[in-house]
Amino acid sequence: MQSKQSIHGSWANRWIFILAATGSAVGLGNIWKFPYITGENGGGAFVLVYLFCIMLVGIPIMMGEILVGRRARQSPINAVRETAAEAGLNKNWSLIGWLGVLAGYIIFSFYSVVAGWVLHYIAGMGTGQFVDISSDLAGERFTNLLASPDQMLVWHTLFVLMVVGVVAGGVNKGLERATKIMMPALFVLLLVLLGYSVNTGSFGQGWSFLFSFNPEALTWDAVLVALGHAFFTLSLGMGAIMAYGSYMGKKDSIGVTVLTIGVLDTLVALVAGLAIFPVVFANQMDPAAGPGLMFITLPVAFGQMPGGQVFGFLFFLLVGVAAWTSAISLLEPATAWLVERFGLKRLPAALLLGVIVWLMGIASLLSFNHWEEIKLLGMGIFDFLDFITANVMLPLSGLMIAIYSGWMLNKHITRDELALGSNMTYSAWSLVIRFIAPVAVMVIFVVNLYDKLA
């Protein structure tokens, strides 16, 4: 088949795509969630199980997403529709694209609220508001932020504008240019913070927390945690990777590229843990998952350490960059579709979607204060949107991508795009994407749904 060209442009080279996709994958979960669940579930033993899950779930499905995107050179919605037509399938398979794009767009609406908190803390750290702060006062500051819709609205608005500004520039002048700046900046910030943590006096304790081999802590629940994170960490099922894949060079190896992205994503998460937990342990604090660690514990820890104001500022800057690169990939698929479907220019398409997602975000931030009495399935608006995307939409999207690329597409399409070089390698991918990955995603879907609703 003759190689098509995307109307949106293409990545200058394979490494730009790798950095862009890694930027999509590296988000808030890498910074606080992965290090914590690693330490709590067996350390090095958990890492090995997680890497095994990445190979059996994350990598194969990511390859499936990219091959569909690159084959059609269009947004996820149109990419699935076009590849379905090429394979002689029903056009309704394009619902996979719709599900992914919609999931990513909804996630962006509340993700921008959390990213707004990060921007608030960048400003707070930079102006010395957390120097020598107590735990009680740090907790009070965070509570006051959640109770202030005006403050959250300012930061939420700024973050949406930051994302829209990049996406409006298109693939080369927007996404690629931002990737070239932000991803190296993210790696440099991470290494600087790692160097700081080495000198806290508690680096060994942080290393032990993350990497001590404790197979006795590796319960069945821990394996399920590893499986779930292996799926969610690579931005699968939300249209982002399929959209980015549509800008990938025809000669670039999908298999090698995806393996590189998986390695970089995991390395960033582990190095982030080595940068965070020595700081926590140096202040005799217990590591805790979620917003409590990032917005209460760490500000106190940095505020009480020599040079903590500077390195606390750099830490939140790191988190802000990670959130920014991820959010860009959430808005890109919907923007690309608007451009393709209605012939809009990039700027008005991104602005229109930005306004809508900004309004949706207002509903999420109000759920922490004025609208906290509004409940959907017993949850506030923010928690409900998080629940429905993470526990329903993304697993279903990932499952459908596995079925579509593994079972429905003709072998000549998948063989041609993957170009794995040997029948054995292709057969291994085919086996995993057809049988193992769908079962694993179903397990994630059922277990998460049961845990949330039980």
Per-residue model confidence (pLDDT) at position 3:
60
The pair of structure tokens assigned to 241 is 């990777």
Q: What is the mean pLDDT of residues 185-206?
A: 93
Per-residue model confidence (pLDDT) at position 33:
84
Instruction: Please say if the pLDDT value at position 280 is more than 90.
Output: no
Per-residue exposure over 331-356, b if at least 16 CB sit within 10 Å of its own CB, e if not: bbbbbbbbbbeeeeebeebbbbbbee
Instruction: Please say if the pLDDT value at position 325 is more than 90.
Output: yes
Instruction: Please say if the pLDDT value at position 184 is more than 80.
Output: yes
- What band does 239 get if pLDDT is binned at 50, 70 and 90? very high
Average pLDDT, the chain: 93
Per-residue model confidence (pLDDT) at position 294:
87
42/218 Cα distance (integer angstroms): 5
Q: What is the mean pLDDT of residues 405-427?
A: 94
Per-residue model confidence (pLDDT) at position 168:
98
Which secondary structure element, helix H or strand E, spans residue 37, and what is its range? helix 34-40
Over residues 282-305, the pLDDT tens digits come to: 888 877 656 678 898 899 999 988
Following CA atoms 126, 129, 134, 140 in sequence, which dihedral angle do they give, to the nearest 10 degrees?
Answer: -110
Backbone phi and psi for residue 376, each to the nearest 5 degrees, phi listed first: -125, 115
Query: DSSP secondary structure string, 94-159?
Result: GHHHHHHHHHHHHHHHHHHHHHHHHHHHHHHHHTTTTTT--HHHHHHHHHHHHT-HHHHHHHHHHH
Per-residue model confidence (pLDDT) at position 290:
60
Query: DSSP secondary structure string, 344-371?
Result: --HHHHHHHHHHHHHHHHHHHHHTTTTT
Per-residue model confidence (pLDDT) at position 288:
61
Return the number of other C-beta atoms located less than 10 Å from residue 234's C-beta.
Answer: 28
Q: Are 213 and 45 in contact (CB under 8 A)?
A: yes
Reduce the secondary structure of 364-416 to three states and give it as a string. HHHCCCCCCCCCECCECHHHHHHHHHHHHHHHHHHHHHHHHHHHHCCHHHHHH
22-31, 118-127, 261-270, 405-414: range with lowest mean pLDDT: 22-31
Among 60, 407, 92, residue whose Cα is nearest residue 236: 60
Q: What is the mean pLDDT of residues 250-272?
A: 94
344/180 Cα distance (integer angstroms): 26
Helix axes 59-72, 254-282, angle to 10 degrees: 130
Instruction: Please say if the pLDDT value at position 2 is more than 60.
Output: no
Per-residue model confidence (pLDDT) at position 309:
92
What is the 8-class DSSP label of residue 286? -
Q: What are the distances in angstroms from CA 217 to CA 46, 178, 199, 214?
A: 9, 41, 29, 6
Per-residue model confidence (pLDDT) at position 453:
80
Per-residue model confidence (pLDDT) at position 216:
87
Per-residue model confidence (pLDDT) at position 27:
87
Look up the CATH number of domain 14-453.
1.10.4160
- What band does 421 get if pLDDT is binned at 50, 70 and 90? confident
Over residues 335-390, the pLDDT tens digits come to: 999 999 999 999 999 999 999 999 999 999 999 999 999 999 899 999 999 999 99
108/100 Cα distance (integer angstroms): 12
